[in-house]
Amino acid sequence: MAQNLIVVLPELVLALLSVVVLLIDIFSESRSRLRQTAGLAMMAVVLTLAVCIALWGKNLSGYNGIVRLDSMGLLLSMVCLVSAGATILLASDYLRQIGSEKTEFFLLILLSTVGMMVMVKAGELLTLFIGLETLSIPLYVLAGFRRQEPRSQEAALKYFLMGAFASGFLLYGIALTYAATGTTIFSELRHSTSTEAIAGSPILLAGLGLMLVGFAFKLALVPFHMWAPDVYEGSPTPVTAFMSTGVKVAAFGALVRLLGGGLASLQEGWGTALWMLAALSILFGNILALKQNNLKRLLAYSSIAHAGYILVGVVAYHSLPTAFGPWAVSYYLAAYVVMNLGAFGVLILVQSRPGGAEKLEDLRGLSQSHPLVALCMTFFLLSLAGMPPFWGFVAKFYVFGAAIQAGRYYLAIIGVLGSLISIFYYLRIIVEMYMSEPTEPEPKLSSSLAVRVTVGAAALLTLLGGLFSSGLADAARDAIRMLITP
Amino acid sequence: MTVPFGWYLFLSALLFVIGAVGVLRRRNAILLFMCIELMLNAVNLTFVAAARHLGQLDGQLFVFLVILVAAAEVAIGLSIIIAIYKSHRSVDVDDLKLLKW
């Protein structure tokens, strides 16, 4: 009993705290409600982070294996919390700028984070699904948070319809898997799919395929990516930052657990399918990003390509004990979250000036008016492009290393080719910032401390993560080594 | 005489495909939404049939979770559609083209 509660302790703490935040918010008569609620939400995130750190090193499973508390779950939970915390910091200023005093924003972020944490710890299919819905439903609302803004409404509807459609596929896949094997718990699935008769069953294969389609929709992998650029463009920028980081962490965490833990014996089937999805996402994501002029759309396509790189790590995830893949995936996710949040933070800063927009030209001459902001953005872009010595380089190195270790040479080559293409459009932004004259004399950016601190911290981490990569990598490897023994 | 398990699977697959094709073909947001509900109900049928076939109760239990999630989705989805209708006076997804689809 007590063990069950310990296993879900971080989720429990965050869910309860978010209710507390809601109640305080309702009865508050403070004049700076927005700031107050943001502070409270931030405190909830930090407390939950502390709980995760206190539980570090434990390897438990609760409720008959439905939820698992292990290093990968905790690590990815913490990455989700970092993403939520950064979003809260970025949003408090943004909300004031767009003239919205709606404090529900922070509550929805917290609830969505609970769903993410459930998802990365799920040891059972229906739990995974409930986590996914808990994470998605607040996000549908957040996407349409600028209710009067037609683009935001449109983004919300598209995200909702696509999300619900994807859930349908995932759920039908779960139902067929259950029909074929009689269980939804990963450890039992692993056991029952090891027999020839069940592993070859067409119902199970159909179930696996449908689940993969559901995941591919959620992760915006090519060819299931059409919604992503639209939704990313239309949503409020902090929400886009949250969507492109937290959701990916949660879905990849769950995917690694499901495929590596539950359906490892079907590796031949899902390996090939994911191979193709990864190659297509890397190539098309990067090629389509080349002609984008809107920075949010550009980052959307770049995030599609990054999902492809991460998927390379999942494909490489074959024989468990020595495999390089699972921690390469976790490591990449951590690096990706930091650099992507940083890039969106700079975007929010640029949007904060009067009449500021999100076009490439809006960054013109940024290095002259705001040299530090331009430097931070350069760090993030070079890191996203996978240039040494930044964190993104190390992360890519490990993911492609995992692919080579697993004998997937072509995938590693496609990954490197994709990174080469990506350098072009990331450099285009840097050139715009450094080599062209500013269009208006002195664009005044927001002086919000929270946004600046977030961007600065992300830039520092992007640099330090690259410089001290070996220590971090060892820590991540030790953490994941004892992972997933369902 | 009992209906064989395969027939249930066939029926639910048929319902699911009707729903999925509907989502891709229809342009009215409400109809799209109903097609998604049809897909979820195909899932429910599969769960119940599988539970009976396997002699377990788990599958029937899962149906409650699915219904619960579907209800939450309806609440959010309909409010988004109403917000769209208030500003566009239409719920046709083809009218929404500010963002390139």
> Mind giving me the DSSP string for A84-144?
HHHHHHHHHHHHHHTT---THHHHHHHHHHHHHHHHHHB-BHHHHHHHHHHHHHHHHHHHT
B chain contacts of residue A172, beta-carbon cutoff 8 Å: 16, 39, 42-43, 46
The confidence band for B95, taking pLDDT boundaries of 50, 70 and 90, is: confident
Residue-wise pLDDT tens digits, A61-79: 888 889 999 888 898 999 9
Cα A379 to Cα A381: distance, rounded to the nearest angstrom: 6
Contact A144, B80 (CB under 8 A): yes
User: Would you tell me which residues 147-166 of chain A have a C-beta closer than 8 angstroms to some C-beta of chain B?
Assistant: 147-148, 150-151, 153-158, 160-161, 164-165
The dihedral built from the CA positions of residue A314, A316, A319 and A321, taken in this order, carries a sign that is: negative
B chain contacts of residue A129, beta-carbon cutoff 8 Å: 65, 69
Q: Between A and B, how many CB-CB pairs are < 8 A?
A: 120
Task: Give the burial string for A354-367 (b: 16+ CB within 10 Å, else e).
Answer: eebebebebbbbbb
Tokens 């692919």 map to which residue?
A403
B89 token code pair: 């006076």
Cα B59 to Cα A410: distance, rounded to the nearest angstrom: 42
Which residues, in sequence order, are CB contacts of A441 under 8 Å at separation 6+? none
* pLDDT at residue A324 in the model: 63
Residues of chain B in Cβ contact (below 8 Å) with chain A: 9, 12, 16, 19-20, 23, 29, 32-33, 36, 39-40, 42-43, 46-47, 49-50, 53-54, 56, 58-59, 62, 65-66, 69, 72-73, 76-77, 80-81, 83-84, 87-88, 93, 96, 98-101
A253 token code pair: 């965490």
Residue-wise pLDDT tens digits, B54-89: 999 999 999 999 999 999 999 999 999 999 999 888
* pLDDT at residue A480 in the model: 58
A chain contacts of residue B62, beta-carbon cutoff 8 Å: 126, 175, 178, 184
Is some CB atom of chain B closer than 8 A to the CB atom of A137?
Answer: yes
* pLDDT at residue A28 in the model: 85
A chain contacts of residue B50, beta-carbon cutoff 8 Å: 175, 178-179, 182
Cα A427 to Cα A286: distance, rounded to the nearest angstrom: 13
pTM (two decimals): 0.94
A chain contacts of residue B33, beta-carbon cutoff 8 Å: 161, 164
Cα A226 to Cα A195: distance, rounded to the nearest angstrom: 38
Smallest CA–CA distance from B51 into chain A, residue: A179
Residue-wise pLDDT tens digits, A200-241: 889 999 999 999 999 999 999 989 999 999 999 999 999 999
Tokens 């937290």 map to which residue?
A246
Res. B3: pLDDT tops 50:
yes
Is some CB atom of chain B closer than 8 A to the CB atom of A198?
Answer: no
* pLDDT at residue A475 in the model: 61
Cα A253 to Cα A248: distance, rounded to the nearest angstrom: 8
Domain residue ranges of chain A, discontinuous segments joined by +: 2-484
Q: Tell me chain A's radius of gyration from C-alpha atoms.
A: 21
A chain contacts of residue B14, beta-carbon cutoff 8 Å: none
A chain contacts of residue B46, beta-carbon cutoff 8 Å: 172, 175-176, 178-179
Q: For every one of its 486 residues, what pLDDT tens digit does chain A have, with 9 covering 90 and above?
A: 688 999 999 999 999 999 999 999 989 888 788 889 999 999 999 999 999 999 988 888 888 889 999 888 898 999 999 999 999 999 988 888 888 778 899 999 999 999 999 999 999 999 999 999 999 999 999 999 998 888 899 999 999 999 999 999 999 999 999 999 999 999 899 888 888 778 788 999 999 999 999 999 999 998 999 999 999 999 999 999 999 999 999 999 999 889 888 888 888 888 889 999 999 999 999 999 999 999 999 999 999 999 999 999 888 876 544 456 677 888 899 999 999 999 999 999 888 876 667 888 888 888 888 889 999 999 999 999 998 889 999 899 888 888 888 888 899 999 999 999 999 999 999 998 998 877 666 667 766 888 999 999 999 999 998 888 776 666 666 655 544 443
Which residues, in sequence order, are CB contacts of A404 under 8 Å at separation 6+? A412
* pLDDT at residue A266 in the model: 85
Q: CA nearest A176: which of A211, A215, A131, A128?
A: A211
CB contact under 8 A, B40 and A147: no
**CATH code of the domain occupying B27-92:** 1.10.287.3510
* pLDDT at residue A109 in the model: 97
Contact A254, A477 (CB under 8 A): no
Peptide bond between residue A389 and the one before it cis (omega within 30 degrees of 0): yes
Is some CB atom of chain B closer than 8 A to the CB atom of A175?
Answer: yes
Mean pLDDT of chain B: 91
Domain residue ranges of chain B, discontinuous segments joined by +: 27-92
Is some CB atom of chain B closer than 8 A to the CB atom of A484?
Answer: no
* pLDDT at residue A92 in the model: 86
Beta bridge partners of A122: A67
